[in-house]
């Protein structure tokens, strides 16, 4: 999800459905660090933390702990913060998943610009291609 979709209740719904999400964290997110894992800073990772949200509405809508990963993108000289509910994948994999999501967005942008599709009849790869 993109940073514009900061919906704590939706995150919790995804978590309860045993799905995971990766999103960009906003700079004004209020949280408390619960735990920090060590990271290899040569990969661009700056921190890998378990956090709990502290804003009243946020902690009510999303009571579970989240994972906060800070990454330095040397190519564009910027720091990125990612939030996820996945604690199993390596931190670097989480950052790469977010980067790959851009290809999905470009695919759907191309579909909207070049094809006149009103609705999809299926959700499989073959249905979308058809």
pLDDT at 67 over 80: yes
d(CA 33, CA 45): 17
Q: What is the pLDDT of residues 43-54, one digit of tens each?
A: 999 999 999 999
d(CA 68, CA 83): 5
Question: Which ranges of the chain would DSSP assign to H, the alpha helix?
Answer: 8-16, 56-61, 91-114, 125-129
pLDDT at 125 over 80: no
pLDDT at 114 over 70: yes
d(CA 105, CA 113): 12
| Overall average pLDDT of the 36-47 stretch | 94
pLDDT at 2 over 70: no
pLDDT at 103 over 90: no
Q: Is the pTM of this model over 0.85?
A: no
């Amino acid at each position: 999800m993109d940073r514009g979709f900061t919906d704590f209740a939706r995150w919790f719904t995804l978590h309860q459905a045993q799905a995971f999400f990766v999103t960009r964290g906003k700079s004004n997110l209020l949280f408390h660090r619960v735990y920090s894992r060590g990271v290899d800073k040569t990969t661009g990772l700056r921190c890998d933390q378990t956090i709990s949200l502290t804003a009243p509405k946020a902690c009510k809508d999303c009571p579970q702990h989240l994972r906060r990963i800070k990454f330095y993108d040397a190519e564009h000289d910027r720091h990125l913060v990612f939030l996820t509910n996945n604690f199993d994948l390596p931190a670097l994999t989480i950052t790469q998943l977010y980067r790959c999501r851009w290809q999905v967005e470009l695919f759907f942008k191309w579909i909207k610009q070049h094809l006149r599709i009103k609705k999809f009849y299926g959700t499989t790869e073959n249905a979308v291609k058809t």
